[in-house]
Amino acid sequence: KSAEEKLTQLKASQDIAALEKAVEVADRELEVAAKSLTKKRVAAAKKLNAAVTAGLPDLAMANAAFAAQLSTLSSIEATGAESIEFAFRSHASLPFAPLAKVASGGELARLSLAILVVCGDAASVPTLVFDEVDVGVGGKVAAQVGRKLQTLADEMLGRQVLCVTHMPQVAAHADHHFTVSRDNSTSPTTSVNALDKKARVAEVARMLGGHEVGSATEKLAKELIASSGR
């Protein structure tokens, strides 16, 4: 081989060695960063699990528990050294299982509410929508659900919370009310109408007493709305 070829090979081997050294340094830095992230995630998950679970009894899930579970990956990825999955159990006697597989629609809605009450400041969406959040609960628990929704809306400055409900105890905590009706007489038509103060009382009264609304029911509706501070 000519001297020029030997020189080229020597430079190439030096470049490879330098690159291998750089990879080793980057791997060590990656491992340090991943360990730091894991430590923070473990601490944050512990706090989140405790805070969310503590809020579940108010939502008619006294024996339920929430867990953000971390599972170590075979190799470090761009998002860290572990995957994260939300898990749930409806009773202390049951094992934790993936939230999406074991929670009912109503439980998912209430869990979302419990999580957002704890982490409301971290939510980036401008509007939160809750449907069936009061499924399977009675009047007392419905009032607690309404208060949590109210708290969430009050603490999320610049954002709004929308809730579809059939429970007057939940509706009473809202700042604004709309009725949604469907007309199937000709072609299916859905209408949404904003309610003024008087119509708001009338609708809450209807939710309390059905279509036959008397003065006593209307008085109760006014008291229910007043007790919510709205």
pLDDT in tens, 69-89: 999 999 999 999 999 999 999
CATH code of the domain containing 141:
3.40.50.300
Closest CA to 67 of 82, 83, 52: 52
Same-domain status, 98 and 109: no
Same-domain status, 76 and 167: no
Query: Quick one: pLDDT at residue 122?
Result: 67
Count up the domains in the chain and report the number. Answer: 2
Residue after which a domain boundary falls, among 79, 103, 127: 103
Closest CA to 228 of 167, 159, 137: 167
Same-domain status, 128 and 92: no
pLDDT of 102 > 70? The answer is yes
Residue after which a domain boundary falls, among 74, 103, 132: 103
What pTM was estimated for this model as a whole? 0.72
The token pair that represents 68 in the structure block? 């953000």
Same-domain status, 112 and 184: yes
Same-domain status, 172 and 127: yes
Same-domain status, 50 and 129: no
Same-domain status, 117 and 69: no
The token pair that represents 38 in the structure block? 């894991």
Task: State the average pLDDT over residues 4-26.
Answer: 72
pLDDT in tens, 141-150: 888 889 888 8
Query: Quick one: pLDDT at residue 54?
Result: 95
Same-domain status, 156 and 204: yes
Same-domain status, 99 and 122: no
Q: Which residues contact 7 (CB under 8 A, 6 or more apart)?
A: none
Same-domain status, 174 and 115: yes
For 14, how many CA atoms within 13 A lie in the half-sphere containing its CB?
A: 6
Q: Model confidence at 4, in pLDDT bands (50, 70, 90)?
A: low
Residues in the chain: 230
SS3 85: strand
Residue type, 141: V
Same-domain status, 115 and 219: yes
Partnered with residue 152 across adjacent β-strands are: none
> How far apart, in whole angstroms, are the C-alpha atoms of residue 222 and residue 230?
10
Q: Structural domain of residue 83, as residue ranges? A: 1-103
Same-domain status, 30 and 113: no
Residue after which a domain boundary falls, among 33, 68, 103: 103
